[in-house]
Amino acid sequence: MIPIKGYATFDPLKHCWIGSGFKAEWLDDLFPKNKKISDPLKRIADETEEDYLKLVDILESCGVKTYRSFLNLDKYESLHEVGAPPTSPRDQFAVIGKKLYVGDKVNPGFTNIIDQIDTKDIRFINRTFCTASVCRVGKDIFWDEHHQPDAGASQQDWNKFFDDEKQVFDKITNEGFRVHKSHRRYHSDGAFCVVKPGCIVSLYDVQDYKKEFPGWEVLYLPDQSWERVHPFLKMKDKVGGRWWLKGEEDNNQLIEFVNTWLNDWVGYVEETVFDVNMLSINQELIICNNYNKEVFEHFKKHKVEPIIFNFRHRYFWDGGIHCITQDLYREGTMEDYFG
């Protein structure tokens, strides 16, 4: 059985779940003659898996045991029936304390890992739940309500939401955690990263850090990465800001196809264009997407060594390094960093 434990995002990582995309050969029957569509998608498929394997190598070389999820097509007659590949386990699960929280809408591609976890370590809940919107800092949980009902939802929907929310909060607070709620409705791991005690990298004005993290040094990166993905700005109006494939900004046939057939395979990328979506291996080692002078100087000051891992199609999948992983077991206990 896979062990489960997690109290802080920066505690030593020992067991990590990694997702997967789709295979290039799946597209042969769909587009035997249309290379304008098939070639870019096959490139996504091949390069995505290459990058996943590179990430496995990085983590394994650091003493982290890794687990992969794969979509099983045996039960489907057509690719048209398939939903999103299991690219980002972070978006559907959360490890808090000694429990893996599993929501009510789980991608079937993830079940192979769930089956390897003891049921006593799993807590099934009646709502969508993900660590992408939950930042764990020992005793304190910083929780953003990402999956709220839409503005036009009925009172019945809101009542169910609040009831389900209360059940989860009660379970967590009864185990000794302090929960700090916010309502920004985006994945917070694309907005700030708690690197280690005393060290944070953030977009400007995301948290009230002086109040919530008193005395901790915060490096702000306001708008720093938009220039790096400038072609995305050209494509985002065509695709509603949901995905981007470098070099295909003017491939209208591909854009139309992805918007029509692969709508469930892509997410909202504008929340993750900043380079704060990172994965700590421990307090001295962190994986990040690319080089940034300010960030690396901040790391050096706090004695943190960065490892660069470029997930080339993260703007297509809407998944940075933190999104495409799920830490299943970290050493450490429930420390009180603000008591």
Query: Has residue 3 been placed in a domain?
Result: no
Query: Has residue 293 been placed in a domain?
Result: yes
Structure tokens at 288: 């990040």
Query: Has residue 265 been placed in a domain?
Result: yes
Instruction: Look at the block and give the residue holding tokens 């307090």.
Output: 283
Query: Has residue 2 been placed in a domain?
Result: no
The pLDDT value given to residue 9: 96
Report d(CA 22, CA 32) in Å as an integer.
Answer: 17
The pLDDT value given to residue 107: 83
Paired strand residues for 122: 100
Structurally, the chain folds into a number of domains equal to: 1
State residue 54 phi and psi, 5-degree precision.
-65, -40
186-195 per-position pLDDT tens digit? 667 778 899 9
Query: Has residue 145 been placed in a domain?
Result: yes
Entry pTM? 0.88
Report d(CA 121, CA 123) in Å as an integer.
Answer: 7
CATH at 288: 3.75.10.10
Query: Has residue 338 been placed in a domain?
Result: no
The pLDDT value given to residue 136: 95
Domain limits for position 91:
13-330
Report d(CA 185, CA 171) in Å as an integer.
Answer: 22
Query: Has residue 337 been placed in a domain?
Result: no
249-283 per-position pLDDT tens digit? 788 888 887 777 777 777 766 655 556 889 999 99
Angle (CA) 110 113 115, round 5°: 110
Query: Has residue 335 been placed in a domain?
Result: no
* Total residue length of the chain: 339
At how many degrees (to 10) do helices 230-239 and 252-261 cross?
50
- All residue ranges of the chain with pLDDT < 50 are none
For CA atoms 64, 329, 100, 320, give the dihedral sign: negative
